[in-house]
Amino acid sequence: MAGLRCAFGVGMLSGSFVLVGGPVHALERIPVLPTTSAAQAALKALEQCRLNGYAVAVTVVNLEGNVMAALRDEHAGPHTFDNSFNKAFTANSLGRAYGLDSTGEIVNRSLAGKAPGIGSFPLPASPLRGLSYSAGGLVIKAGPVVIGALGVSGSPSGGLDEACAARGVQSIQAALK
């Protein structure tokens, strides 16, 4: 009887390897936004807005929407910090989902009645934490792959915020190719 138990146990183990085995799939390789690049992009965006005479806040998020770098000019309004995060988060999540590179594109689609939203219903401004239908957020790509986003808030318009964001993103693009 002891021999049967041992044979049965070995047979079960052998069977489990056959069931678990099979083709091995390669893991997807996704580039990661380096912290130093995020910090450099944030600083360049802030500096560009300062050169233009605007006190802003800048936030850079990674692919998961986590803050990698955040700066706020000492003269920027208190609302700018949260809004810069919202712009970066929106560009990262909705931009990636809909193949758009900026919150400015999302705003334009919204004005045309084609805003990205949940299902077929467009979302109003900030119904969910982190979403903003305001220009000033840009995705950050490594080649064709979105790896994060940068948001700027505090200049007189979203278009001016977006120009500063573009300077920040451009400052790191060569290192991300």
pLDDT for the residue numbered 116 = 57
Q: Give the 3-state secondary structure of 49-72.
A: HHHCCCCCEEEEEECCCCEEEEEE
What stretches in the chain show pLDDT beneath 50? Answer: 4, 6-8, 10-12, 14, 16-18, 118-121, 126
- pTM of the predicted structure, to 2 decimals: 0.79
Looking at the domain assignment, is residue 8 inside a domain? Answer: no
- How confident is the model over 53-89, as pLDDT tens digits? 999 999 999 999 999 999 999 999 999 999 999 999 9
Distance CA(9)–CA(16), nearest Å, equals: 11
Query: How far is residue 102 from each of residues 15, 78, 110, 138, measured CA to CA in Å?
Result: 53, 23, 13, 4
Total domains, the chain = 1
Looking at the domain assignment, is residue 40 inside a domain? Answer: yes
Locate 40 and state its tokens. 């450099």
Contact 58, 70 (CB under 8 A): yes
> In terms of residue numbers, what domain contains 163?
35-176
Looking at the domain assignment, is residue 5 inside a domain? Answer: no
Looking at the domain assignment, is residue 133 inside a domain? Answer: yes
Looking at the domain assignment, is residue 53 inside a domain? Answer: yes
| CATH number of the domain that residue 86 is part of | 3.30.450.150
DSSP 79: H
Looking at the domain assignment, is residue 64 inside a domain? Answer: yes
pLDDT for the residue numbered 29 = 85
pLDDT for the residue numbered 73 = 98
pLDDT for the residue numbered 97 = 81
pLDDT for the residue numbered 109 = 76
Of 161, 159, 175, 99, whose CA–CA distance to 150 is shortest?
161
Backbone angles phi, psi at 45, to 5 degrees: -65, -45
Locate 112 and state its tokens. 């045309």
pLDDT for the residue numbered 132 = 83
DSSP 19: H
